[in-house]
Amino acid sequence: MIDTKLRDDLRKQGVVATSFQELYNWGRKNSIWPLQFGLACCAIEMIAASMARFDMARFGAEVFRPSPRQADLMIVAGTVTKKMAPQVIRLFNQMPEPKYVIAMGACAISGGPFKQGYNVLKGVDRFIPVDVHIPGCPPRPEALLEALMALQRKIAAQSLTGEDRPRFLDAEASGEFPVPEFGEHDLVPASNPEVWRPALVRRD
């Protein structure tokens, strides 16, 4: 990687020196297209974030695609219930790589205020990998913008080669996750062990 101080000095002189990784990631992070996927109350704050006052269009994320085949980012905004969970995961599978997930709001992170519910999935990260979590109930639109910027920083830091390259550049890793079935009492399986394991912490 080029020395950043040297790079910035050169840029001041009008000479742009960059690496392929930086250019590739810059193009991707500045044009993230979210999937139009609002489940519950957080969806209203997501819509407000794309409206005139908070304006997500400045970040390149204005175009909310209705079809998962054309989207890069799934903002899971709202409570994921067990009845809806297979649909969420199916939609995530249908998105082409590279794809990212933002879990917006307490309900998407861990079930939120409805954690005691029998129909509530306690966190969407039980089945799909989540990149950014936004706490709040609902989080302010500014928080969603901050999460988008955090995702942009994460994308900018992704390396294209090597051990820590992301999933979409790894021929072995699959971007599809198994979809749970409706069982008699609960979803079958209740969580995806490759993505999530319950934290076993003793608290006596």
Partner 1 sequence: MIAECCKAEKGHDLLEVSMGPHHPSTHGVFRMDVVLDGETVVKLKPVFGYLHRNHEKIAEKNSYLASIPYTDRLDYICSMTNNWAYVLTVEKLSGISVPERSEYIRIIVSELTRLFNHTCLAGFLLQDMGALGTPLMYAFREREKILDLFEALTGSRMMCNYMRFGGCRCDVSADWIKQASAVVDRYSPFLEEFEALITGNEILRVRSQGVGILSGDLAVNAGVTGPMLRASGVNYDIRKVDNYGLYGRFEFRVPLGQTGDVFDRYMVRILEMHESIKILKAALLTIPAGPIMDPKAKLRNLRPKTGEAYGRIEGPKGELGFYLISDGTANPYRYRVRPPSLVNLTILEDMCLGQTIADVVVILGSVDIVLGEVDR
Partner 2 sequence: MITMQTLPEIKVRLENAVPGARIEIVANDSPANQPSLLIDAEHGRAIAQFLRDDPEFKFDYASNVTGIDWLGKTPGYLEAVYHLYSVALRQGPLILRLRTENRSDKVTLPSLTPVWRSCELQEREIFDLYGIIFDEHPDLRRILMWDGFVDHPMRKDYVEPDDYEYEPTPHDDVLEKARLHYPAKEAAV
Question: Taking the complex as a whole, how short is the minimal distance between the CB of residue 203 and partner 2, in angstroms?
Answer: 6
Question: Taking the complex as a whole, how short is the minimal distance between the CB of residue 163 and partner 2, in angstroms?
Answer: 29
Handedness of CA 154, 178, 94, 50 (dihedral sign): negative
**How is residue 44 written in tokens?**
């209203």
Q: Applying CB under 8 A, does 156 fall inside the site for partner 1? A: no
Identify what 184 binds: partner 1, partner 2, none; CB under 5 to 8 Å per kind. Answer: partner 2
How many C-beta atoms lie closer than 10 Å to residue 146's C-beta? 14
Stretch that binds partner 1, among 6-14, 35-43, 171-179, 191-199 (CB under 8 A): 35-43
Peptide bond into 198 cis (omega under 30): no
Give every CB contact of residue 99 below 8 A, 6+ residues apart in sequence: 71, 72, 73, 74, 92, 168, 175
> CB-wise, 38 or 123, nearer to partner 1?
38
Identify what 198 binds: partner 2, partner 1, none; CB under 5 to 8 Å per kind. Answer: partner 2
**Contacts with partner 2, 107-146, as mask; x by CB under 8 A:** ---xx---x--xx--xx-----------------------
Give every CB contact of residue 153 below 8 A, 6+ residues apart in sequence: none
Stretch that binds partner 2, among 19-27, 43-51, 160-168, 183-191 (CB under 8 A): 183-191
Q: Applying CB under 8 A, does 123 fall inside the site for partner 1? A: no
Q: Applying CB under 8 A, does 190 fall inside the site for partner 1? A: no
Q: Applying CB under 8 A, does 179 fall inside the site for partner 1? A: no
Question: Which of these, 162, 201, 159, 193, lies nearest to 177 by C-alpha position?
Answer: 193
**How is residue 172 written in tokens?**
């072995």
Distance CA 33, CA 71 (A): 5
Q: Applying CB under 8 A, does 44 fall inside the site for partner 1? A: yes
Q: Please give the residues from 80 up to 99 whose contact with partner 2 meets the rule CB under 8 A.
A: 82-83
Q: For the chain, first and last CA: distance in Å?
A: 49
Distance CA 102, CA 74 (A): 6
Which residues sit at the interface with partner 1, rule CB under 8 A? Answer: 36-41, 43-45, 47-48, 51-53, 66, 78-79, 81, 83-84, 87, 91, 113-114, 116-120, 137-138, 140
